[in-house]
């Protein structure tokens, strides 16, 4: 007796397995297994003529089963802890290790020119802008700036900040009260940098007289023994000092006696851990040079912070010179305008944009 065999169409592409064979009534053929999973699979339910049953889908099903807990591979806890400890050790070693050394090689030592062999000061670059520093270092290493005097002239031509420092050693004299002497010297220091009210531009001063008052105050500050410090500051203040007659010769004189004899906390760190001193300007003296009006933020020139943070790259450019010349001409007119700090900030930003987009 023959048996009619019905084969599921979804299994035709796969090799025929004996346990998948059934009779017309659905009972398995002898020898086949009854353990077959008969749960329907979406998309595989069909009639005998091959047409899909109602509710079935032709889309291939996505497996939603997840591996059992026993089949999921978990990292070994001991190896995980070892990895954490390794990371901690690496971080600790980075934090405890010293910072990388300065990649810039030390500058070649400079000497004084023959006619200035007895000079006791030495040139120290004080400009902080990286571009200006690299330009100076490049010239120093290629041998074009072998002397202190050559380096001073190089910095002055570009209005770069620098110092002409000199070592100072305070020695206690027997029987002298150092505390009392220091108090006296500090008082002298204050008097040296004192600015009388007559040098300031007052709020009540007529506009037409502002420039004359400013020029009078500038000349008096620059005429002081330490007035040469205006050149050392670089930037706008150095350019104002040059405008009113200070030259490289003033810088080449070295620190004044007041810088050497009167102690102050404005020291210069030189190579080898040495401490040098030089002339400097007090805050009131700087205010006179920049033409501060009264006790407000109005001034003839921008303050140093505003100037240096808006377009200053450590070197005086043609754009700076054009702006300085134009502003100076306006100040010499009867108008003699002043600007607030925020106005100067806007002006300096425009100058920076014009110089960098040229």
Question: Span 329-338, mean pLDDT?
Answer: 92
Instruction: Please give the Cα distance from 334 to 331 (Å, whole number).
Output: 8
CA torsion sign, 255 to 320 to 242 to 289? Answer: negative
What digits encode the pLDDT tens for the residues 274-300? 889 999 999 999 999 999 998 778 999
Question: Span 324-338, mean pLDDT?
Answer: 93
Q: Residue 350: what pLDDT?
A: 83
11: left (phi over 0), alpha (psi -120 to 50) or beta: alpha
* pLDDT tier at 70, thresholds 50, 70, 90: very low
Reply yes or no on whether the pLDDT at 94 is more than 50. no
Provide the edge-to-edge strand list for the sheet that holds 274-277: 122-125, 162-167, 274-277, 267-270
- pTM of the predicted model, to two decimals? 0.67
Name the average pLDDT for the chain.
Answer: 77
Instruction: Please give the Cα distance from 228 to 102 (Å, whole number).
Output: 32
* In the block, residue with structure tokens 């500038």: 218
Q: Residue 62: what pLDDT?
A: 53
Phi, psi of 167 (to 5 degrees): -70, 145
68 to 77, 109, 138, 214, 335: CA distances (angstroms):
20, 75, 69, 88, 88
Reply yes or no on whether the pLDDT at 167 is more than 70. yes
What digits encode the pLDDT tens for the residues 226-263? 999 999 999 999 999 999 999 999 999 999 988 877 66
High-pLDDT (> 90) share of the chain, % = 43
């Amino acid at each position: 007796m023959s048996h009619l065999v019905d084969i599921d169409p979804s299994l035709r592409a796969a090799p025929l397995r004996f346990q998948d064979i059934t009779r017309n009534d659905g009972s398995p053929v002898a020898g086949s297994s009854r353990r077959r999973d008969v749960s329907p699979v979406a998309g595989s339910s069909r009639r005998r003529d091959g047409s899909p049953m109602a509710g079935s889908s032709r889309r291939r099903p996505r497996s939603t089963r997840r591996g059992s807990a026993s089949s999921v591979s978990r990292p070994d806890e001991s190896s995980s802890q070892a990895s954490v400890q390794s990371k901690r050790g690496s971080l600790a070693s980075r934090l405890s290790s010293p910072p990388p050394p300065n990649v810039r090689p030390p500058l070649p030592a400079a000497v004084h020119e023959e006619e200035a062999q007895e000079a006791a000061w030495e040139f120290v670059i004080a400009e902080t802008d990286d571009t200006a520093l690299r330009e100076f270092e490049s010239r120093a290493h290629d041998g074009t700036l072998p002397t202190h005097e050559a380096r001073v002239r190089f910095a002055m031509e570009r209005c770069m900040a620098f110092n002409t420092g000199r070592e100072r050693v305070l020695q206690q004299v027997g029987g002298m009260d150092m505390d009392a002497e220091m108090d006296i010297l500090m008082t002298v220091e204050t008097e040296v940098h004192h600015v009388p009210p007559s040098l300031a531009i007052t709020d009540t001063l007529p506009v037409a007289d502002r420039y004359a008052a400013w020029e009078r105050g500038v000349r008096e500050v620059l005429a002081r023994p330490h007035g040469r410090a205006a050149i050392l500051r670089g930037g706008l203040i150095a350019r104002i000092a040059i405008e009113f007659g200070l030259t490289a010769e003033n810088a080449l004189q070295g620190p004044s006696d007041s810088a050497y004899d009167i102690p102050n906390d404005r020291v210069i760190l030189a190579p080898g851990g040495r401490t040098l001193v030089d002339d400097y300007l007090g805050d009131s003296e700087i205010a006179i040079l920049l033409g501060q009006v009264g006790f407000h933020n109005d001034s003839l020139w921008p303050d140093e912070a505003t100037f240096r943070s808006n377009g200053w790259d450590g070197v005086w450019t043609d754009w700076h010179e054009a702006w300085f010349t134009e502003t100076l001409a306006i100040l010499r007119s009867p108008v003699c305008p002043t600007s607030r700090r925020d106005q100067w900030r806007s002006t300096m930003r425009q100058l920076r944009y014009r110089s960098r987009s040229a």
